[in-house]
Structure 1
């Protein structure tokens, strides 16, 4: 399902899934980057992303987002745990704080991100923009782009980001599942 969204929290996403930002400075060197609303599990090639997308779909109660109470790492596929990052949305500051960082993610980026604000980490401003989109849209998204914010031996990465929220607090957590492509 490809959705057209004119503008969400400073980010415009066209019906083809292309990312256009009012602040192009972070994306100028990333012309092939894109973010899109995501609903098609068959489009995922990474098994961890596929497994967590199924978990997220199975956690829906009616038409609402899955509750943050559904986030149970003990129920997640073990193979996916090292590739997870859990972000908490702080409504009062409109910022994100990383609550959980998997070891594969930590090793790939070269720093421990747990308890850090997302926009204060390498590559974090672009990540925060994408996370703001998910808070406003209350939909999962998939993003793929160059791995340019670390000296590690990766050339690209993808991330599937899954929103969790309550009726009174639409999106309060975002579970991110990463896949790193070697160079």
Structure 2
């Protein structure tokens, strides 16, 4: 004879009404993340502070043993020596001209080229762009030198702009092809 028993509703424990366990878990997670970030950032911060310390100390303190971290008599003489002893303003201007010129020309040439490749039916041109991008820049070094010497551009900013342009133009075209491929056809037709 089987005996059947009625089983009442099972009791499910309710969640704790107190928010503290959740708050403590979030605080623990934040603390662990903060400690991890601190451990990862401290070496870089230490190097930066050491460079700043070296820049603000006189030469006598820079070569002292044991090393002095906090300068006893901070000075800006190192910066004065750099600014007075070298044409750093001209160097900075040269860098700005080369970077700005090569970027502007790469955009002027690369955006239409990227649009043309993206909208054409022949996708083989993208392979040439990829090959140009993958070719190491050092492999162009000797041909560039011979070419720039032959046309009288040796040791000029124009040669440097052309060099940066040859390296950067395939990147611009590659990015623009991806951008124009992602545009909806309706947007192009609406224009």
Q: Give the TM bin, normalised by the shorter chain.
A: under 0.3
Q: Which protein has the larger Cα radius of gyration, Structure 1 or Structure 2?
A: 2
Question: What TM-score, normalized to structure 2?
Answer: 0.19
Question: What TM-score, normalized to structure 1?
Answer: 0.20
